[in-house]
Chains A and B, each alone.
Chain A
Amino acid sequence: MNNHFSLIRALLLLRKNFKESGSSYLLMFLAGLGILFLSYGLLIVASFHSMFPTGDRKMIFVIGLLLGGTLFSSSHYGFFKSEAKTIQFLLLPATTGEKLLVGFALTQIMYLIIYLGIFTGIDWLMCLTYNEFVAIPNWIIEQEKHYYQGKPIFQSDTILFKELVILYFITTSIAHLGSLSFIRNAYVKTAILFVISFIGIIYLNNKMLVMLIPEEIMPHGKYFTDSFRIGPLQQPTGIVTLPESWQLRISWFLPIFLYSSCWIMSYYKLKEKQI
């Protein structure tokens, strides 16, 4: 035993976590599977006489990924409600990094892999069911019949998979930090704080722009700092855009900054946790 990070000890911690919380994870898995199956199934059954639903199942995918992921992450340190379990966890001979790695593995890797696996499976099954039972109306012309063909979601070129995964990593990291910071109602408190901070940043950004430019300012663009409109809302007199190199930097810097900040804060929260 030493005081430096040990991967073996981290794996032992992970095994301990699975052994002790395995039944809870199984229940969560079954509940998730049931909800996903039911909602997707209802959607498909309701679509047997219409075109294959594409937008709705993307919505189910996004809700399951983000809502499910954040709920799971925010419940990771739910045992902090019990002083005895908190004592046992904090005094278990392992480093903070090893303890944090368990949370990281579960919230950032395990959930994502399992969710994508489940969703892909259900999606494939539902496409198969739809293709088998779909009743194409007689008046549909041959060129439009392909709309009545179910294709797995990941073959669609309209889903922003990369962006969604990035969003998943960021939101679950925030939820994980919230779980460490709040003992009770971690999810609700984190969500409220997140919304307040987000609105606050947009508001302050706009205020700052107004102070810089003596005209009416409207934030505009993919990231609210990358471009803005000047002049009245009905008749803008121009759009000011950040140089392209800045935009590129912001698009990778902001997610990385948010993500790493959450995990660094989580590390110190856990290291300095008192009861």
Chain B
Amino acid sequence: MIHFNNVSFGYTKQKPLYANIQLELKSGSVYGLLGKNGAGKSTLLKLMAGLVHPQKGLLTVCNANPMKREPDFLNQVFFIPEEIDTPNIHVLDFAAEQVPFYPRFNQTQFLDYLKELDVPMTKLNKMSFGQKKKVWIALGMASNASLIILDEPTNGLDIPSKRILRKLIASIVNEDNCIIISTHQVKDLDSLIDQIILVDNGEIIVNTDTNTIIEKIIFQHSNQQEISNSWIYHETSIAGHLFVKKREMEEDVSKLDLELFFNAGITNKIAIQELFNQKS
């Protein structure tokens, strides 16, 4: 669905952010885009949506060039930004003005999502930030776009809404669409994500599925004081060490700890890249 072929990008020519990146994202998956602040997550999402243009290389999204921002491409993409700004009109009027532009928009779905997310039927200026965000989420989900991009979707959402968001995303993902979620709150969405893209300093460290991660590495806890050389990464607490290491054939598969995996990827980039054959 999305192909980055030697794509380079920088906000200035002197300071490139991404250099010759190769990346492929397939439909039927929920991608989790992880990275530190300023790592280039939002930029990667903007590249996919055609909001920023590559300086070099070829980028195709849904068989189209996102740079052109043609209507046939745009009605397949729905981008939910981190910050939300809405006009001061009624939520239903707001949706009614969007509907004609998205041929697959489903009004019944939209109303159901609003109800499920507990959004009041009122003017948008009377809503809180979280409620406005939920309107956008409902709109995006009901647009039935092939590519739904969510930038920090759980920011501003209350705890029940996060659960409903997970449920909604799980209900709409199918073989024909792709959902990309950029987040710092990995624990909010770790049960949902089945593909991980880890970026750091404009570099794609890992692009793999969660099954491959748990096949290749294990996440364990140790009460021992000593630190093993085989550990790729560890975190020390009063209770001992939480560590990540390469999984041996005979070892059992452990439960995926996305936060630990993220920290391992950022701290011991080379080891993780070697393990996932992603060295760029």
Contacts and interface: CB of A to CB of B under 8 A. Distances in A.
A15 B97 contact: yes
B59 to A, nearest CB: 14
Contacts of A84: 81, 83-85
B71 A94 contact: yes
Interface string A45-69: 0000000000000000000000000
Interface stretch (B72-80, B239-247, B251-259): B72-80
Contacts of A90: 50-51, 69
B81 A19 contact: no
B88 interface: yes
A245 interface: no
Contact of B93 (A19, A91, A271): A19
Given A21-B87, A87-B81, A93 B75 contact: yes
Contacts of A95: 70-71
Contacts of B74: 91-94
Given A1-B75, A91-B77, A20 B69 contact: no
B103 interface: yes
Q: Classify chain B's interface size.
A: 20 to 34
Interface residues of A, number: 29
Contact of A3 (B53, B72, B77, B102): B72
Contacts of B81: 83-84, 87
Contact of B101 (A3, A19, A93, A96): A93
A96 B69 contact: yes
B191 to A, nearest CB: 28
Contacts of B160: none
A128 to B, nearest CB: 38
Contacts of A21: 87
B170 interface: no
B97 A274 contact: no
Contacts of A96: 69
Interface string B60-76: 00000000011110110
A254 interface: no
Contact of A275 (B46, B87, B93): B46
Per DSSP, chain A at the interface is helix
A147 to B, nearest CB: 50
Nearest to B69: A90
A24 to B, nearest CB: 9
26 contacts: A2-B72, A3-B71, A9-B100, A19-B97, A20-B94, A21-B87, A83-B81, A84-B81, A84-B84, A84-B85, A88-B85, A91-B49, A91-B51, A91-B69, A93-B71, A93-B74, A93-B75, A93-B101, A93-B102, A94-B74, A95-B71, A96-B69, A274-B51, A274-B53, A275-B46, A275-B52
Closest 9 CB pairs of A and B: A20-B87, A93-B74, A84-B85, A93-B75, A3-B70, A16-B97, A93-B71, A82-B85, A93-B101
Interface of B: 46, 49-53, 69-72, 74-75, 77-79, 81, 83-85, 87-89, 93-94, 97-98, 100-103
Given A93-B101, A274-B51, 18 more contacts: A1-B75, A2-B72, A3-B71, A9-B71, A9-B101, A19-B87, A19-B89, A20-B87, A20-B97, A21-B87, A23-B88, A84-B84, A90-B51, A92-B74, A95-B70, A275-B46, A275-B51, A275-B52
